[in-house]
Amino acid sequence: MKPYKRMKKLAFILLCFMLILVARLAQIQLIQTESFSRHHINLIEASVRQRTQEMVIDDGRGKFVDQNGEPLTHHSSLSLVMFPFLKELKWPSDKVASFVGMSEYTLKDKLNKASEPVVIEKEITEAEMKSINSLKIPGLFAVPLQKDDGGHFAEHLIGLTGQNRDLLVERYDERLKEGELSTQTSVGITGLQSAFDEFLIQEEESKLLYHVDRQGNPLFGLNVKYTGAPNPFYPVKVKTTLNKEKQSAVEKIVDSSGLKQGGAVLVNIENNTVEALVSRPEINEVKPYGDGGVYNRMLIPYTPGSVFKTVIATAALEQLPNVENRTFNCSTNIYGKKAQKDQGTLSFHDSFAESCNATFGQLGKDITAKDEHMIETYAKKLGLTTKAGWSGEVFHLQNFAQLPEEKKGMVWTDNTTKSPNAISQTSIGQLNVKASPLELANMMATIGRGGKAYEVRAVDKIQYKNGNTLFSFPKQELEGGGIKRETAEKLQMLLTGVVEEEKGTGRRFASLPYEVAGKSGTAQISDKKALVNKWFAGYFPRENPKYALVVVDLSVKDEEAKTNGVFYDIVNNVYELDQQSKRK
């Protein structure tokens, strides 16, 4: 009986094992074919990929171009593609080699080393493409390829894409269920890639493919299949307001300067559009959130220091009669004690040019005495407490924002007591005051154009693949923004004095080919480490303003700041590019 019982136990164990095996096979082949394990692997797609060799011609995701239609994140090229099975065939390799400008030996060597489709990295002409394809060689094609440029150009503004199942489900659950999208579909994670993801999301890749056996040999003959819908409308193009040449120049200037944290933003005053935007540090694509490099610092508020005196000057001009004829004791600081730098007695105009803290500490108290909310009111008029970026209705999207990562600035926290000292500190851009570089650039654009305030656009329109417009973003006034023309003209004189006056804090910029008006700022953020935020915000040319520019070097020692050098070089470079454009 004992052997019989052991046999029964063994049979039972074997039966359990078989049932588990069958259940596992059913799970793999029938139940969880499209979402296997906690990693949600699509087993059908994985199986097809395992026995398929392919060459992606276009990933199907929408693309970004600059204001002139120049591609920003990709480029198209006519290239030769060779599939590995070609090495087993006889074909006119000498003739093909002559088309691509390389020796027959080199061409065949590249093929012999290939285990998957290989692209010959030499662009060919359209005529050469037609000639190569007319040979009708199995496994050899001349095709237009869309190639990713690596994602480093205007990376903070354009943003990152990646595979993220949670985001896919959150945004496109129904399309996933219906099979329109797969778990391998890339989505926009940051920047414009995220904001415009619904328009950019890939419909279908365009690719050449063929099926192989375990040894890599053709499974169904030598026919290479083309997949991809020949759709004249998709993928779309997002036409940004960036100027590719200026963006490239600003990136080079910022990087060569050694500016490690901060950046620059250049705004076209007439259209109120971003022509260049650079944020540093660069994005670490392996661990984008690890060192904070993924954050666009041009959209984040920081302590602005004396640049904020522009707000106090605006309020004083409109609310304090005869302020332009007053004089101020600049031998003292904002607390009435002896100042580190004795500037003597200064007029209102000279106080702004030389950035006298005592003057603006007093003016802040004077305007607050009239209305305790006066500083906040004028900060809003100049766009420093409202998001500067374009927002509005786009089709079914009620609150679409071009720059959803943007944070708005502030003047006071909710629990701040408006004591005389707190008002003085606030009036010189310290204490709780925060403003983003984009907001400050928009403030300078508002003053430069004569007081009208608009939202800043980073995208002009969304275009179909054939070039027709899907949606155009209109110029929109900034809610609650704008100042009187008369006030703007007086501010222009004050900002000019910063550069023109002998003791002006922006005197360095007087030698530039474009005349500059602007305001410097040095915000103390750490007394212990002697760290500051070093700013210069301005516009140019002075007489007929075309550009507003803000440069900031964050958390740096004052004497090591790169701000002025970067601002100087950008203006110089923009001037040279404008002159080149006129000569064309």
| pLDDT by position in tens, the chain (length 584) | 566 667 777 777 777 777 777 666 655 555 555 554 555 545 444 444 444 566 677 778 889 999 999 999 888 888 888 888 888 888 898 988 888 888 989 888 888 888 788 888 778 888 888 988 888 888 888 888 777 776 689 999 999 998 888 899 999 898 888 887 888 888 999 999 999 999 999 777 776 666 655 555 555 454 566 566 567 788 899 999 999 999 999 999 999 999 999 999 999 999 999 999 999 999 987 777 777 789 999 999 999 999 999 999 999 999 999 999 999 999 999 999 999 889 999 999 999 999 999 999 999 999 999 999 999 999 999 999 999 999 999 998 889 999 999 999 999 998 889 999 999 999 999 999 999 999 999 999 999 999 999 999 999 999 998 899 999 999 999 999 999 999 999 999 999 999 999 999 999 999 999 999 999 999 999 877 889 999 999 999 999 999 999 999 999 999 999 999 999 999 999 999 999 998 87
> What is the per-residue DSSP string for 443-509?
HHHHHHTTS--B-BBSEEEEE-TTS-EEEE----BPTT----HHHHHHHHHHHHHHHHSTT-TTGGG
- Quote the pLDDT of residue 183: 82
What is the predicted pLDDT for the residue at 50? 47
Helix, strand, coil fractions of the chain, as percent rounded to 5: 40, 25, 40
Per-residue model confidence (pLDDT) at position 117: 84
Alpha helical stretches, state H, 196-308: 197-200, 244-257
* CA–CA distance, 142 with 2 (Å, rounded to integer): 75
CA dihedral 428, 433, 437, 438 (to 10 degrees): -120
Quote the pLDDT of residue 28.
Answer: 52
Instruction: Give the model's pLDDT for residue 3.
Output: 67
Query: What is residue 47's predicted lDDT score, i.e. its pLDDT?
Result: 44
Cα–Cα distance, 312 to 309 (Å, whole number): 5
Burial (CB count within 10 angstroms: exposed 0-12, middle 13-18, buried 19+), residue 53: buried
Q: Are 397 and 391 in contact (CB under 8 A)?
A: no
Q: What are phi and psi of 118, to 5 degrees?
A: -120, 140
Asked if domains 43-240 and 244-583 share a fold, the reply is no
CB-count burial class (<10 Å; 0-12, 13-18, 19+) for 508 = middle
Domain boundaries along the sequence of the chain: 43-240, 244-583
Confidence at residue 558, expressed as pLDDT on a 0 to 100 scale: 95
Report how far residue 118's alpha carbon sits from residue 141's, in angstroms, rounded to the nearest whole number: 11
Please enumerate in sequence order all residues whose Cβ is within 8 A of that of 170, keeping only pairs 6 or more positions apart, or say none: none
> Which fold, 244-583?
Beta-lactamase (3.40.710)
User: d(Cα 337, Cα 456) in Å, to the nearest integer?
Assistant: 42
Active-site positions read 306
What number does CATH give the domain 43-240?
3.90.1310
| pLDDT at site 85 | 80
